[in-house]
């Protein structure tokens, strides 16, 4: 068995709402898949089905070789889950919460205690270890919940928006922890709304919208699918933005993006330096004074925007191209 997670045609409906509309994917052992998508895309629903908290209405899925419906009980012994909404006991202390999970996984009292201390340290919670969780801040709750998912060293981990609500330092620390786990052979499915997180952690990224996969690949492949380069430039005067856009329409191969506050325009182009030269020539002809201009590859942000942002305005072609 080389895939730690498989999903085939998963369907989930809530009354009128189709949360998952035939989602298929697999996650090879020891790799990281990031589900990236806007609010309501179906990310949490996917995680809940794979962790046996919810039954699918159609399709099938396995985790660590166990069917999510028929072998739910056995499956649970192989996974760790940290949810979008922290599932900790408010009345227990941080240490007690982790020890309790250890006991549930039959680690024994001594090992549970040692493991709890180790994780509290790793998540920078040692100072709060003996305080009830009800007095924890939002970020501390996130971290204790994440620590809980790691207590039993599960081979397959599900982290639903693990760093939402964490400050930059805590986020960076968590990324390091996750990288270590994966280096140790764990398989991870994570959901996120942060491009940077997917870029940094995931081997494969699947962009989900309306319960369907609209693109998948490595961060680099997705950037290639969106294609080309981006010219990023700023003008010196707000009054020139419109003129500049008109002049650049000849160079752009897709929708331009304008940020009026910073007088900035982003222009998708097919090739590199040639397009930049062309664009600057057009702007000079139109009498636009350019403050600075540069060329860059698309970011995952561009990918996301192209795929989920402007579906009504002519990017359907690109979306269709992106589906494999
Ligand atoms: N218990 C429920 N009852 C009814 N509808 C639900 C329920 N849970 C989810 N949905 C709907 O299913 C769709 C997918 O929801 P889901 O929570 O999986 O999205 P998500 O990608 O996790 O979003 P977010 O980024 O906001 O966490 C949404 O339209 C949501 O409103
Ligand atoms: Mg969610």
This prediction has a pTM of 0.80
Q: Minimum mean pLDDT among 128-132, 173-177, 234-238, 259-263: which range?
A: 173-177
Ligand nearest to the CA of 37: 1
Where residue 255 falls among pLDDT bands split at 50, 70, 90? confident
Q: Minimum mean pLDDT among 244-253, 263-272, 294-303: which range?
A: 294-303
pLDDT digit string, tens, across residues 42-82: 999 999 999 999 999 999 999 999 999 999 999 999 999 98
pLDDT digit string, tens, across residues 194-225: 878 888 899 999 999 999 998 899 988 888 77
- Distance, in Å, from the CA atom of 146 to the CA atom of 151, rounded to the nearest integer, reads 9
Mean local confidence (pLDDT), 7-29: 97
Q: Find out whether the beta carbon of 43 lies less than 6 Å from any atom of ligand 1.
A: yes
Highest mean pLDDT: which of 109-123, 161-175, 263-277? 109-123
The CATH number assigned to the domain with range 3-223 reads 3.40.50.300
Pocket test for ligand 1, best of 10, 11, 15, 45 (most atoms within 8 A of CB): 45
- The confidence score (pLDDT) of residue 226 equals 73
- The confidence score (pLDDT) of residue 38 equals 83
Where residue 86 falls among pLDDT bands split at 50, 70, 90? low
- The confidence score (pLDDT) of residue 178 equals 87
Scanning the chain, the segments in alpha helix (DSSP H) are: 43-50, 72-76, 94-104, 109-122, 138-150, 168-183, 195-201, 219-226, 241-248, 273-285, 300-304, 316-322
Q: Where in the chain is the domain with CATH 3.30.70.100?
A: 227-297
Pocket test for ligand 1, best of 13, 15, 17 (most atoms within 8 A of CB): 17
- What's the token pair of residue 278? 């062309």
- The confidence score (pLDDT) of residue 171 equals 87
Beta strands 187-192 and 32-36, pairing class: parallel
- The confidence score (pLDDT) of residue 196 equals 82
- The confidence score (pLDDT) of residue 79 equals 93
- Distance, in Å, from the CA atom of 164 to the CA atom of 197, rounded to the nearest integer, reads 11
Ligand 2 centroid, distance to 191 Cα (angstroms):
8
Q: Find out whether the beta carbon of 192 lies less than 6 Å from any atom of ligand 1.
A: no
- Confidence check: pLDDT of 3 > 90: yes
Q: Higher confidence at residue 2 or residue 265?
A: 265
- What's the token pair of residue 323? 């589906």
Where residue 174 falls among pLDDT bands split at 50, 70, 90? confident
The CATH number assigned to the domain with range 227-297 reads 3.30.70.100
Find out whether 83 and 145 touch, Cβ atoms under 8 Å. Answer: yes
Where residue 317 falls among pLDDT bands split at 50, 70, 90? very low
Ligand 2 centroid, distance to 242 Cα (angstroms):
39
Q: Which residues surround ligand 2, an ion (CB under 5 A)?
A: 43-44, 84
Pocket test for ligand 1, best of 23, 35, 41 (most atoms within 8 A of CB): 41
- The confidence score (pLDDT) of residue 85 equals 67
Task: Please tell me the residue having the least CA distance from ligand 1 atom 12.
Answer: 19
Q: Find out whether the beta carbon of 40 lies less than 6 Å from any atom of ligand 1.
A: yes
Atom of ligand 1 nearest to the CA of 41: 21
Q: Where in the chain is the domain with CATH 3.40.50.300?
A: 3-223
Q: Higher confidence at residue 264 or residue 313?
A: 264
Q: Minimum mean pLDDT among 93-102, 106-115, 169-178: which range?
A: 169-178
Q: How remote is the C-alpha of 43 from its chain's centroid?
A: 9
The average confidence (pLDDT) of the chain is 88
pLDDT digit string, tens, across residues 98-148: 999 999 888 999 999 999 999 999 999 999 999 999 999 988 998 899 999
Q: Find out whether the beta carbon of 187 lies less than 6 Å from any atom of ligand 1.
A: no
- The confidence score (pLDDT) of residue 312 equals 29
Ligand 2 centroid, distance to 162 Cα (angstroms):
11
Enter the DSSP assignment of 31.
-
- The confidence score (pLDDT) of residue 1 equals 52
Nearest CA-CA partner of 216 in 193, 198, 237: 198
Q: What is the DSSP string of 171-182?
A: HHHHHHHHHHHH
């Amino acid at each position: 068995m080389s895939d730690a997670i498989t999903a085939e045609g998963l369907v989930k409906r809530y009354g009128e709402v189709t949360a998952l509309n035939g989602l298929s994917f697999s996650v090879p052992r020891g790799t990281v898949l990031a589900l990236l998508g806007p609010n309501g895309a179906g990310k949490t629903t996917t995680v809940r089905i794979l962790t046996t908290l919810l039954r699918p209405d159609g399709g099938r899925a396995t985790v660590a070789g166990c069917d999510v419906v028929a072998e739910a009980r056995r499956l649970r012994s192989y996974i760790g889950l940290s949810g979008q909404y922290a599932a900790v006991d408010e009345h227990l202390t941080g240490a007690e919460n982790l020890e309790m999970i250890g006991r549930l996984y039959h680690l024994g009292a001594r090992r549970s205690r040692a493991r709890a201390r180790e994780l509290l340290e790793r998540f920078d919670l040692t100072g709060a270890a003996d305080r009830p969780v009800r007095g924890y801040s939002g970020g501390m709750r996130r971290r204790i919940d994440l620590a809980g998912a790691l207590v039993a060293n599960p081979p397959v981990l599900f982290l639903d928006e693990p760093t939402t609500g964490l400050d930059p330092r805590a986020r960076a620390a968590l990324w390091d922890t996750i990288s270590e786990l994966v280096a140790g052979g764990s398989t991870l499915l994570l959901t996120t709304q942060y491009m940077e997180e997917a870029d940094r952690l995931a081997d494969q990224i699947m962009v989900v919208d309306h319960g369907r996969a609209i693109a998948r690949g490595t961060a680099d492949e997705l950037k290639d699918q969106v294609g080309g380069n981006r010219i990023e430039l700023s003008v010196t005067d707000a009054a020139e933005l419109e003129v500049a856009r008109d002049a650049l329409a000849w160079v752009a191969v897709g929708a331009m993006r304008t940020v009026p506050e910073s007088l900035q325009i982003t222009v998708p182009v097919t090739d590199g330096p040639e397009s930049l030269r062309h664009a600057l020539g057009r702007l000079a002809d139109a009498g636009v004074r350019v403050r600075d201009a540069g060329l860059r590859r698309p970011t995952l942000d561009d990918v996301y925007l192209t795929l989920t942002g402007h579906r009504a305005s002519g990017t359907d072609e690109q979306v269709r191209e992106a589906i494999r």
